[in-house]
Chains A and B, each alone.
Chain A
Amino acid sequence: MNWKRLSRAIEISAFLLPFAAFWVLFRLVPVLYGFFISLYKWDLLGDARFIGLRNYVNLGRDPRFWNALGVTLEFAAIAIPLIVGIGLLLALFIFGGRRRRWAAAAEAGFFFPYLLTVSVVGLIWRWMLDPDFGIVLLVLRGWGLPAPVFLNEPRWAIPAIAFATAWWLSGYRMVLFRAALEDIPEEFYEAARIDGASGARMFFSITLPLLKPAVLFALVLTTISGFIVFGQVLIMTAGGPGRVSEVLALYLYRFGFEYLEMGQAAAVGVVLFLIILGLTLVTFRWLGYGSSL
Chain B
Amino acid sequence: MEWWENVGRGAPVSRRALLKAAAVTAALVTASPGRLSSIMAQGVTTLDYYTLFHSGDAAAMERIVRAFNGEHRTVRLNLLQGQWAEYYAQLFAAVGSGNAPQIGICHSSRVMDVYRALTPLEESRAGNLLEIAGIREPMYTKNVWDSGVYQGKRYLVPLDSHMFGMWYNKDLFRQAGLDPDKPPETRDDFERAAEAIKTRTGRFAFHPAEDALPRKLRRGWEIFFWGQGGSLLTPDGRRAAFNEDRGVRALDYLAGIVQRRGWNTPGTDGFKQFAAGQLGMLLAGNWYLPTAKSAGVNFGFHYVPKFFDRPTTWGDSHNLVIPRQRPDRASNEVLVEAIKAIKWINERSEAWGIYGGHIPAFLPAQRSKDLLESDSWKLALNKFTDMANRGYVHYPLTHEKAPQVHAAIEPHIQEAYNGRITPRDALVRAEAEVNRVLAG
A-side residues, CB < 8 A to B, are 44-46, 58, 62, 64, 130-133, 149, 151-154, 238-243, 253-254, 257-260
Contacts and interface: CB of A to CB of B under 8 A. Distances in A.
Contacts of A240: 214, 411, 414
B242 to A, nearest CB: 17
29 contacts: A44-B96, A45-B92, A45-B95, A45-B96, A45-B116, A45-B324, A46-B116, A62-B436, A130-B269, A130-B272, A131-B267, A132-B273, A132-B278, A133-B276, A151-B267, A152-B266, A152-B418, A154-B420, A238-B85, A238-B214, A240-B414, A241-B418, A242-B414, A242-B418, A257-B86, A257-B92, A258-B88, A258-B403, A259-B407
A242 B403 contact: no
A58 B437 CA distance: 11
Interface in B190-219: 213-214
A260 B93 CA distance: 9
A259 B418 CA distance: 26
A77 B336 CA distance: 56
B414 A241 contact: yes
Given A131-B269, A257-B89, A259-B407, 14 more contacts: A44-B92, A44-B95, A45-B116, A131-B267, A132-B272, A149-B265, A152-B266, A238-B85, A242-B415, A242-B418, A242-B420, A243-B411, A257-B86, A257-B92
B74 interface: no
A64 B434 CA distance: 12
B411 A260 contact: no
A72 B88 CA distance: 26
A257 B403 CA distance: 11
Interface of B: 85-86, 88-90, 92-93, 95-96, 116-117, 213-214, 265-269, 272-273, 276, 278, 324, 401, 403-404, 407, 411-412, 414-415, 418, 420, 433, 436, 440
Contact of A132 (B214, B268, B412): B268
B251 to A, nearest CB: 14
Given A238-B85, A242-B420, A133 B272 contact: yes
B172 to A, nearest CB: 16
A58 B415 contact: no
Contacts of A258: 88-89, 403, 407
Contact of A259 (B117, B267, B404): B404
Determine which residue in A149, A238, A260 has the highest number of CB atoms from chain B within 10 A of its CB, and name it.
A260
Determine which residue in A62, A132, A258 has the highest number of CB atoms from chain B within 10 A of its CB, and name it.
A132
Nearest to A42: B96
Nearest to A256: B89
Top 10 nearest A-B pairs by Cβ distance? A152-B267, A257-B89, A149-B267, A44-B96, A242-B411, A242-B415, A45-B116, A243-B411, A131-B267, A259-B404
Contacts of A259: 401, 403-404, 407
B15 to A, nearest CB: 13
Nearest to A260: B92
A85 to B, nearest CB: 29
B440 A58 contact: yes
B213 A238 contact: yes
A131 B433 CA distance: 30
Contacts of B88: 258
A254 B404 CA distance: 9
Contacts of A46: 116
Contacts of B401: 259
B412 A242 contact: yes
A239 B273 CA distance: 23
Nearest to A45: B116
A253 B90 CA distance: 12
Contacts of B273: 132
A45 B326 CA distance: 12
A250 to B, nearest CB: 11
Given A44-B96, A132-B278, A254 B269 contact: no
